[in-house]
Structure 1
């Protein structure tokens, strides 16, 4: 398997799975629309969507956008309420969420750079665009490694708390276990893919060290094995990508969606409280 075959195999598997993900997302969203929107429960789906769109656009193109960004940082990402209640629960949340956000953002930027800015506009000569498709570029390698480490440590904390220390008030169900399995599969296949690639010829030794865990700790453990590293690197690229896509399509029906919905609720509440506080001061 060469580079082009591996990429073709990935997209052949990835695109149908993303369509299924969007269908699942719509099913969940349609269920939410059964409730009231803007105080109207008997409105049609189209009317509710229109009302939501007006609210979203009205927020984006208004001073409320800053309040929403602030609420995302303070309540959804940092989660100050959880920090005040339990430092270890907060640390678990912060590490896992930060790692997920960083890695998914890097994947999105890489796809945008490779499939749009470079493929259609031929901007590979622009350093801050071309670097996102080079896995051994210092910035790309370092950020990917930091994201993977944060996500791994966060998952370990989660497993220890859920399945070993088990606080009395904590209830672990099938959705929690699936989240562990799903994130674990993504991380395991990702680390294996990095080990294989760093032992292949598709690596720049001068800058590969920015992937500090893979280059200095993991890859040397297997470097002496007589394996077809170049061939395995292509296979692991496909396997890791498809496994990640499979986990993504389960998001609408898993604990991930509960976490997203909870974050949205916290953000909306924080914006409303900020607006009430501002109105009170003005009065």
Structure 2
């Protein structure tokens, strides 16, 4: 039975799994790992999220950008991420755990879609604040995947989100822009969309993605696996230092004369 530590708040924190020896994984391994995703919890307010010490990868995007479809495609589960018939109505942060054999080694966070016109203005403002606070303050946030419809390009709200996370990206936060619905683009349109998005991604990566044509699925799964399984740090050098004598060295040297 897996042990769970419990912080002062009383909410359980899944244990951290040892990081993988390397950051490389073939597509089969990465997709198999993504397929282990299962619902963990949902939160209507930021303070309702359980504190975690595991790598967390957040999915964000404008309503109708294909975020739920992307998550369901990557995890090979048809209804893991809820796609509302009324875009913009899903206003909770949903967490999904990842990991095999009753362990959790990473978490996916599905953030509400933003920018849908039919949502009342007060709700828009409230959720923009919640999302901004999450992206700025969530301590275990490891990476952000932003969905963007390349036919529309980066909207004003997308650019605002980029500005919010830019300081954390500069500090090492991983960032990926997925240009969804890539099957609707010609080859030249796709190349142009990639070039434009790379200029605006602020150092993040950019990939074309299509659930229908299965474009970018394996590459994205491998990248997320690498984010959650960074290479192990090399062992620290001997605290005594390379110039210090070992016990055997000291024993081999004759004592100094009085």
Specify which structure has the bigger relative contact order, considering alpha-carbon pairs within 8 angstroms and separated by 6 or more residues.
1
TM-score (norm 2): 0.26
TM-score (norm 1): 0.25
Structure with the higher helix share, 1 or 2:
1
Structure with the higher strand share, 1 or 2:
2
